[in-house]
Amino acid sequence: APANEKNVMKDKRSGFQRLCRRCLWLCLTLATPVEAELSEDQTIIYIKECSADWASSVVTGDTSRMKVYFAEDFVGTGVEGDRYNKSQVVASNGPSDIYRSNTIDFIDVRLFGNTAIAHGSETWVKYDGSEGQWIWTDIWLLRDRGWQLVAAQDVEIPAAPQ
């Protein structure tokens, strides 16, 4: 019986060690910055998708993805010259009661090694019927955790009265 108990304990230890190795492998796999291994075309697509996500969040209030691609040290300059940071951007107040829609007009992305510059435009419509555009420039850096948005500059252009 004692030899049999030793074999059972050995099997349990061996199973536990296999489980630990699998957990470690899974953690390392999930922690790998996938964005860091993207081709130039894939990087441009990723940045455009993130820009579109930010634009749609203005209406939907869904900032869940933004928590991933906004850098912790992000700093933006708003349309009135005010500065804002990641925590202010990702703080969701739910769906907008101001903006009815916000649509991307265009996004151009240029890559310079581990830096990307995105220029874009969005057209918005408020519930009060007013319309306008945001013209913006975003700066992205390739870091250990992948491509991250580190800076933004926004300009607002109200639609001309009709």
Identify the residue whose tokens are 């230890």: 13
**DSSP one-letter string for 19-73:** HHHHHHHHHHHHHS-GGGG--HHHHHHHHHHHHHHHHHHHHH---TTHHHHEEEE
Three-state DSSP at 92 gives coil
Per-residue pLDDT of the chain (162 residues; tens, 9 = 90+): 556 666 555 555 555 565 545 544 333 434 334 445 789 999 999 999 999 999 999 999 999 999 999 999 999 999 999 999 999 999 977 899 999 999 999 999 999 999 999 999 999 999 999 999 999 999 999 998 799 999 999 999 987 766
Which amino acid, residue 75? Answer: V
pTM, two decimal places? 0.75
